Amino acid sequence: METTNFVLGKNNIKWIILSFVLVLVGFALMLGGSTDFEAFDPNIFSFRRIVLGPGCSFAGFVLMIFAILKKDKKTNQEEK
């Protein structure tokens, strides 16, 4: 049986899964009830929705780029 070499190693996959979870957490932090036309709800402008949620999602996307571009130590040693 042939063994296939994946482009991304186990550590890369772990980092990608972690970053995906971080993006989902960021989106979950931005969720909340909508405003009613009859009454204004100032909670739509809370710190959690405006700063924390988008910051968490952005960190997840940056971590995803890092996870894709990171090279494993094994791969570097095999290429030499």
Residue 15 placed within a domain: no
Residue 50 placed within a domain: yes
Q: Which residues make Cβ contacts (< 8 Å) with residue 46, sequence separation at least 6?
A: 32
Residue 7 placed within a domain: no
Q: Is the pTM of this model over 0.75?
A: yes
Instruction: Give 20-60 pLDDT, tens digit per residue.
Output: 999 999 999 999 877 677 887 788 889 999 999 999 999 99
Domain housing 74: 26-79
Residue 33 placed within a domain: yes
Angle at the Cα of 66 from the Cα atoms of 51 and 70, rounded to 5 degrees: 165
Long-range contacts of 49-55 (CB under 8 A, 24+ apart): 53/26, 53/27, 53/28, 53/29, 54/26, 54/30, 55/26
Residue 75 has pLDDT above 70, yes or no: no
